[in-house]
Amino acid sequence: MRHKILLLCAALLAAACAQAPQKPAGTPRAILLGQLESWVQKGQIAYGHQDDLPYGHAWRVEDWERDPLERSDVKATTGCFPMMVGFDLGGIELADSCNLDGVPFGLMRKAALKHIERGGMVTFSWHPRNPLTGGDAWDISSDQVVRSILPGGEKHTEFMLWLQRAADFLESLGDVAVIFRPWHENLGSWFWWGGRLCTAGQYQELYRLTWLYFTKERGLVNLVWCYSPNGPIPPQEYMSRYPGDEFVDLLGTDIYAYRGDDSIEGTRVRYAEQVKVMFTSLTAIATEHKKLVCFSETGLEGLPDTGWWTECLYPAIKDFPISYVLTWRNAHDKPGHFYAPWPGFEGEADFDAFCHLEDIVFLEVE
Ligand code: BMA
């Protein structure tokens, strides 16, 4: 039996059913959390893809107000949409019209809502620019940035405007629940909020400030908050900057496979080991803290391993209680920067096989 979410279009439903379909009870947030949990309980893992709808390998949505948003590299290769679609808010803080990867925020809103309406889920990350230097999220030239935006810092007022703009966007989605994953990969030192760029206390204050502003001041109660440090790291470090149970719903991690000069087999073995160490520990932490687990980002850039999905990713994750796994974006303008196959790519068949595994969940639309 294939465990896919089957969606009937509204017209079919109206024709076939006298009564409206039963909506699950609870707030949008509780329903989203409940869905993630039910996959875990059934031993299933949902699949996600970053920026799946605005663009793909060598294509992008041009006229987004008219575009039906049916195109997707994942759908073109498997017949199904990813269950989870990720978007990035980078650029919203300066009221830009497009995000850092050229996605208009209007398109992002439309695609997110359309995906949710189809029965899918949405997660937002955020690569905001550097509020102290004016550089990008990767500008690590100063270790004073986080200090400067916290209460009492010289950039605090400006930073609160950045939070306001991000909150305005999420609020504009209306009464739907989405996952929000701010200040990610915080144990590495490649973002201005990273490990060597601020103290643990400053990081926690930043996360809590964000949560408090969104939740208490703005009343954004539909957000599911994801904490997602980078891996691989020694597992005992995972909680070293944890903001606290009150501020987090989902425990994630970002771990990528890297080939480097290694063989395909060597790359697989290394990745499997890293995933195993990290998720063994995350599973125990999640049980202790009563949280759900996700694999917030992963992938192998350019997919040089054509069996990566069923012979590397799947065996690495299948025995862990991971609610969803998200692979990164298929850039429209950087030919080698992709993490999911597209029609004609040689690894297509393996991805299709992954999609049709019993315990992997895609979004099937009829
Ligand atoms: C990175 C790369 C960048 C991109 C950023 C935010 O991992 O994909 O090209 O700008 O994510 O999406």
Confidence class for position 25, pLDDT limits 50, 70, 90 = confident
70 vs 25, higher pLDDT: 70
Q: What is the DSSP string of 21-85?
A: PPPPSS-HHHHHHHHHHHHHHTT-EEEEEETTTTEETTEE-SSTTT------HHHHHHSSEESEE
For 182-239, how does the pLDDT look when each residue is reduced to its tens digit (9 = 90+)? 999 999 999 999 999 999 999 999 999 999 999 999 999 999 999 999 999 998 899 9
* Number of helical (H) and strand (E) elements in the chain, helices listed first: 11, 13
Token pair for residue 334? 């950087």
Q: If you count them, how many residues does the chain have?
A: 366
Percent of the chain past pLDDT 70, that is, above it, reads: 93
C-beta 100 within 6 A of ligand 1: yes
pLDDT at 24 > cutoff 80:
no
Compute, in angstroms, the gap from residue 358 CA to the centroid of ligand 1.
31
Compute, in angstroms, the gap from residue 290 CA to the centroid of ligand 1.
31
The CA angle 282-287-288, to the nearest 5 degrees, is 100
Question: Which whole-number Å values give the CA distances from 362 to 41, 79, 127, in the listed order?
Answer: 17, 9, 27
pTM: 0.94
Token pair for residue 270? 């290394």
Q: How much is the pLDDT for 42?
A: 98
Token pair for residue 20? 């409206």
Residue located nearest, by CA, to atom 10 of ligand 1: 101
Q: Are 190 and 141 in contact (CB under 8 A)?
A: no
For residues 125 and 122, give the distance between their C-alpha atoms in angstroms, rounded to a whole number: 10
Confidence class for position 242, pLDDT limits 50, 70, 90 = very high
C-beta 88 within 6 A of ligand 1: yes
Tell me what the mean pLDDT of segment 166-184 comes to: 98
Q: How much is the pLDDT for 32?
A: 98
Tell me what the mean pLDDT of segment 156-178 comes to: 98
pLDDT at 17 > cutoff 90:
no
Residue located nearest, by CA, to atom 3 of ligand 1: 101
Tell me what the mean pLDDT of segment 330-346 comes to: 95
Percent of the chain past pLDDT 90, that is, above it, reads: 91
Average pLDDT, rounded, for the chain: 94
Question: Which whole-number Å values give the CA distances from 191 to 129, 184, 327, in the listed order?
Answer: 10, 9, 20
Token pair for residue 245? 């149970």
Backbone angle region of 91, left / alpha / beta, with phi > 0 → left and psi within -120 to 50 → alpha? left
